[in-house]
Amino acid sequence: HLLPDFMYKYILVKLMNTSASSVHCVSKGLASHLSQEYKVKNTVCLYNIFNLTKIEVLSQESIEIKQKYIINIGHFNLQKNQKDLVLSYSLMRKEGLEDKLVLIGDGILKDETANLVSELDLQDHVIFLGKQTNPYKYLKQASLYVSTSLYEGLPAVFVESLILQIPIISYNFQFGATE
C-alpha cells in the first residue's frame, strides 16, 4: 500500500460510501473484496481499455536484442518483487535455461536488483533496459512474460501480453491474475 492502513480502512471507505455514486475497480476480485472486506457500496468492475491497433503497430518496431529471452515489465519496488524473479531465474539457469532475462522499468529497488544480479553472477544473462516509451516491441519478441508481483488489481501488462500472444507465468496474487 502507498498509504497507511487506517486511510484505506476508515477514511477512504467513508469517502467512497458518502461521496461516490460508484467505485470503479479494475477487476471483479477487487470489486468483491472492497464490498465484502471494507463494506464499500456500489462497486463496479470496469476493465481498462486498450488500443489494440496501437499495441500491434508499436510491437512491430525492431529491437537490438537477438537472443531468445523472457521478460518482466514493471516498476522496481516491493510489490513487483523482481528480487524473486532474479532468484528464480538463477535457479532456472542452473537447470539449463538458456534464455536471457530482460527487465524493463525503473524504481527504488532497481539498484538493489542489479546488485543481486551481480552477486549471482548473472550479468551476462540479465538485460536492464530501464523505462521504455515503447515496451511493446520487446514484449512481442519475448518467449514468455513472467510476473512475481505480490499483489495487483488486473495488470495491464497481462492484457498486453495476451494481445501480443505472449504466454504468461505469474504468482497467483489475490486479484486479477485469474481474470
Report yes or no: 62 and 31 within 8 Å, Cβ to Cβ.
Answer: no
For the cut 90, the answer to whether the pLDDT of residue 8 exceeds it is: no
Please give the grid coordinates belonging to residue 138.
520487446
Give residue 1's pLDDT: 55
Amino acid letter at 75? H
The answer to whether the Cα torsion of 125, 131, 137, 143 is positive or negative is positive
Digit-coded pLDDT (tens) for 69-124: 999 999 999 999 999 999 999 999 999 999 999 999 999 999 999 999 999 999 99
Between helix 52-59 and helix 156-163 the angle, nearest 10°, is 70
Confidence of residue 178 (pLDDT cuts 50, 70, 90): confident
The residue behind cell 525503473 is: 106
The predicted pLDDT at position 11 comes to 84
Alpha helices in 20-109 (DSSP H): 28-37, 52-59, 82-94
Task: Give the pLDDT of residue 26.
Answer: 92
pTM of the model: 0.89
Contact 172, 150 (CB under 8 A): no
Q: How confident is the model at residue 15 (pLDDT cuts 50, 70, 90)?
A: confident
Closest by Cα among 104, 43, 95, 111 to 70: 104
Give the Cβ contact number of residue 134 at 10 Å: 12
Q: What is the pLDDT of residue 2?
A: 65
Over the stretch 147-157, which tens digit does the pLDDT of each residue have? 999 988 899 99
Q: How far is CA 33 from the centre of its chain?
A: 20
Residue 120: per-residue pLDDT: 98
Q: What average pLDDT does this structure show over 140-147?
A: 98
pLDDT at 7 over 90: no
**Stretch 137-153: mean pLDDT:** 96
How far lies 59's CA from each of 27, 138, 173, in Å? 26, 7, 28
Distance CA 62, CA 159 (A): 22
